[in-house]
Amino acid sequence: MDKRYILSFLSIIATVVMLAACNSETASTISQGVSVESAKQMLIQNNDVVILDVRTPKEFAKGHIAGAVNINIHDPSFSQAASTLARDKTYIVHCAVNPRGGRGDKSISILNELGFTELLSLDGGLNAWKRAGLPINQS
């Protein structure tokens, strides 16, 4: 009977450890999503909101949200470039489609590590922005 109690106890401890690990990873790597409509309103109403486009410069030149800052997540100097951004702003981060685990999430994870706290992920990325009929700038 003592053996069953020990096994049960160890099982509970293992479950608690796994849950704690999952929760800490989730908190540091996954940001809150924001809809295209909400993002548009935030940009209109608040000067402290910045669109951060993490696609390549070539993709950015083909079309981007007006006023967006472009820092390529694939560039080895991404962290260095991102560290120059103001930390008192809210950043709406996006790539082309913003799938979970994609370029947007990877960027948000790095930005979290750099001490940024106000980070949102644009639901559907630039493609959703376009589908909503919102303006795109080309450079």
pLDDT, tens digit (0-9, with 9 covering 90-100), for 49-82: 999 999 999 999 999 999 999 999 999 999 999 9
Token readout for 66 is 């007006």
Query: Do the domain assignments include residue 138?
Result: no
Query: Do the domain assignments include residue 137?
Result: no
Sequence-separated (6 or more) residues with CB below 8 Å from residue 49: 42, 43, 89, 90, 91, 92
Together in a domain, 124 and 71: yes
> CA-CA distance, 98 to 36, in Å (whole number)?
12
Q: What does the pLDDT look like over 106-136, one tens digit per residue?
A: 999 999 999 999 999 999 999 999 999 999 9
pTM of the model: 0.77
Q: How many CB atoms lie within 10 A of CB 103?
A: 22
User: What proportion of the chain, given as a percentage, has pLDDT over 90?
Assistant: 72
Counting the structural domains of the chain, the total is 2
Q: Strand order of the sheet with strand 32-34?
A: 32-34, 119-122, 90-94, 49-53, 69-70
Q: What does the pLDDT look like over 23-34, one tens digit per residue?
A: 333 334 456 899
Together in a domain, 51 and 13: no
Together in a domain, 70 and 100: yes
Active site residues: 95
